[in-house]
Amino acid sequence: MKKINKNLLLRFVYGGVSIILLIMAISIPQLISQDQDISNFTIAKEVAQEIIIAALAACIWLAAKFYQRNLGQLKKIKKLQDNKGQLEASLSEAVKHIGSVNVQLETIKSTLSSLKDYPTSKEEFRSILKYFTERILTIAKADWVVVRILDLDKLRTLREHTETRNSQVLMRPTIDNKHLVNSKFPDYQILTSEQNNLAIKIFVAMPKTELKDEQVLIKAILNQLEMLFIIFTSKYYRDNCLKK
């Protein structure tokens, strides 16, 4: 059964009542002038006509007020229903966002807390670089990511690792270090570690995608990776900090 449109029904009823009253207002004077019984009353026909027309006009006015009041109530109800729908949508979006953030926080927590030892060899650091790149690929939901550690003075690549989703063949142009530093890749998303007083910096390149909270998490991973690289390449660390 179809749901009745109350607004349409109200308009139909008001229109019908108004038409009936209007017809009566037009017809009554003619009926009075033709009715001999009424013409013999002590009240003049003109007065009777005016009284009846005034009564009909009052009825039309009351019908209009009733229509306006109920129409206003229907509009308020419609507005409340719309607001309710918007609130429900906003609440659903907020819950979805909170759930997504919780998942991402768990990802970053597991990523940053998974390392129990600092790297002591190239193989160990390469394994860490691969692991962090995989986490970035998961967070960004991209088809591929390239993580590159650069010597900013010489624009030389110190380390690099690429990960693709589902082991697909990577189809991308060569990423030049000079352009990478200057972020001259409008078709790709470029993020970097955030320390500005170092001669190295870590870059991640991926297909253009919308990153919100994910950007913060990815930069946190890059910062952590940068710190691990500094520790790994530190002569002081090698000579004095490692357990014998």
Query: Whole-angstrom Cα distance, residue 239 to residue 244?
Result: 10
Judge contact between 134 and 163, C-beta under 8 A: yes
Q: Is 33 a domain residue?
A: yes
CA distance 167 to 98: 30
Number of domains in the chain: 2
Q: Which of 13, 8, 17, 1 is nearest to 74 (CA)?
A: 8
Residue 108 included in any domain: no
Q: Are residues 159 and 66 in the same domain?
A: no
Out of 41, 74, 102, pick the residue that ends a domain: 102
Whether residue 174 is found in the same domain as residue 72? no
Q: Note down the domain range covering 20.
A: 6-102
73 shares its domain with 171: no
Shared domain for 127 and 40, answered yes or no, is no
Are 97 and 124 within one domain?
no
Indicate whether 1 belongs to any domain. Answer: no
CATH label of the domain that carries residue 203: 3.30.450.40
How many angstroms from the chain centroid is the CA of residue 104?
A: 18
Instruction: Looking at the structure, tell me whether residues 27 and 134 fall in a common domain.
Output: no
Distance in angstroms (rounded) separating the CA atoms of residues 199 and 240: 23
Q: Is there a single domain that holds both residue 119 and residue 21?
A: no
Residues 120 and 212 in one domain: yes
Q: What are phi and psi of 208, to 5 degrees?
A: -60, 125
Same domain, 125 and 229: yes
Task: Give the helix ranges, DSSP H, for the chain.
Answer: 6-34, 36-39, 45-113, 122-140, 177-181, 213-233, 235-236
Cα dihedral: 94, 95, 97, 99 (round 10): 160
Question: Does 136 lie in the same domain as 189?
Answer: yes
Tokens of 93: 């979006």
Last-in-domain residue among 102, 128, 151: 102
Query: Within this chain, do residues 130 and 182 fall inside the same structural domain, yes or no?
Result: yes
pLDDT truncated to tens, each residue of the chain (244 aa)?
444 566 666 666 766 766 776 676 666 666 555 555 544 544 555 656 666 666 766 777 777 777 677 767 767 777 777 777 777 776 677 666 666 666 666 766 676 667 778 888 889 999 999 999 998 998 888 889 999 999 999 999 999 999 988 777 666 557 888 888 887 777 788 999 998 889 999 999 998 888 877 888 899 899 999 999 998 888 666 666 666 6
What DSSP state is assigned to residue 43? S
Q: 193 burial class (0-12, 13-18, 19+ CB within 10 angstroms)?
A: buried
Is position 109 within any domain?
no
Q: Are residues 92 and 121 in the same domain?
A: no
